[in-house]
Amino acid sequence: MVFLRRLWIQLTADRKRFAALCAVVALGMLLWARLILVSKLPRTAVADDPAAAPAAAEAPTTGEPADGSAKRDSDKAALPPIPVHLARLVTRDPFIINPDFFPRPTLSPAIDDGADKSAAQPVEDAEAAEARRLAQLQALADRLRLEAVMRGSPMAVINGRTYRLLDWIDLVEAPGIRFQLIEIAARSAVIECGGRRFELSIQDPIASPR
């Protein structure tokens, strides 16, 4: 008795554990009851109707089912077969779009006036383009003024800024064009842009008249 009381106190001390134990016991009882019902099914029997037996005996035995399925089979057998001819070669492409249902739009030829104007203008040859490019770079190089040079540590002062060898010279008026300082002499410097070289010289001061 004391053992059972102590076991009951241990089981009910933790409510979650006790609830889980009750759920497991209930599930086990349900499964046990289901096994009993499945293993011991009630046996039932259906007796024939005594009034329907004489009617079936009086029915004439003609060899045909009572529902008339044999008659329908005979009617089907009496119908002549219908021949079906299948095409051996494919005469129509199923992927071709039918123009009757999906007509193609007619595109009117566009008149481009700009094409005629461009065709009338002569094409600029390579020599003219090179001359024009050289003249543009020469005009930009003329805006660079060499003010001083230093030979010990090669440097050049151009437009108020000091540059060393291989430094790039950017122009405010031409952002896409850059000159590179490649040579420094006693009173001159050589700059390069796109394989074209230009020489800058220190201008001698002009003597003022007395």
**Domain for residue 56, yes or no?**
no
The first and second tokens of residue 64, run together, are 């045909």
Number of folded domains in the chain?
A: 2
**pLDDT for res 76:** 66
The first and second tokens of residue 165, run together, are 């060898």
**pLDDT for res 82:** 84
The first and second tokens of residue 162, run together, are 């000091």
**pLDDT for res 182:** 92
Q: How far apart are CA 195 and CA 41, in angstroms?
A: 106
pLDDT under 50 in the chain at which residues? 111, 119-120, 207-210
- Residue-range definition of the domain harbouring residue 15: 2-30
Q: For residue 191, report the phi and psi dihedrals to the nearest 5 degrees.
A: -120, 155
Rg (C-alpha) for the chain, rounded Å, is 56
**pLDDT for res 48:** 63
**Domain for residue 159, yes or no?**
yes
Single-letter residue type at 128? A
Helix or strand (DSSP H, E) at 33: helix 15-39
